[in-house]
């Protein structure tokens, strides 16, 4: 069982979104070219932002805080990749 499967985020939306973020992240490594990486990073960032913007979070809930933390890390990573792609082009 993966770490994502153990986080029961807000309204059960974390696991499918985390799987989507993982697919985008895994696709970044073999992607060739700055524009391809920037596009994947944009998709990753979009999913992370959707989780960060979810209004049904319970801030006192440890699973919801973990969801926020993981989503923020993914969003930050995607932002760095997009900046690097801009610098490379």
Q: Give residue 79's pLDDT band: very low, low, confident or very high (50, 70, 90).
A: very high
2-44: pLDDT as tens digits: 544 477 766 678 888 889 999 999 998 888 888 999 999 999 9
Provide the pLDDT for residue 88. Answer: 87
51-63: pLDDT as tens digits: 888 877 777 888 8
Note the pTM of the prediction, 2 decimals: 0.82
The C-alpha atoms of residue 68 and residue 58 are separated, in whole angstroms, by 11
At 67, list the tokens.
């969801």
Q: Can you spell out the DSSP letters for 30-89?
A: T--SHHHHHHHHHHHHHHHHHHHT-TT--TT-HHHHHHHHHHHHHHHHHHHHHHHHHHH-
Tokens 């309204």, residue? 11
Provide the pLDDT for residue 4. Answer: 46
Q: Is the pLDDT of residue 1 over 90?
A: no
**Three-state DSSP class for 8?**
coil
């Amino acid at each position: 069982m993966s770490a994502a499967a153990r986080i029961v985020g807000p309204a059960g939306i974390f696991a499918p979104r985390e799987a989507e973020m993982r697919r985008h992240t895994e696709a970044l490594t073999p992607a060739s070219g700055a524009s391809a990486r920037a596009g994947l990073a944009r998709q990753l960032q979009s999913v992370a932002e959707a989780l960060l913007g979810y209004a049904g979070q319970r801030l006192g809930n440890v699973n919801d805080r973990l969801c926020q933390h993981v989503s923020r890390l993914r969003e930050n990573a995607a932002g760095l990749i997009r900046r690097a792609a801009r610098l490379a082009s």
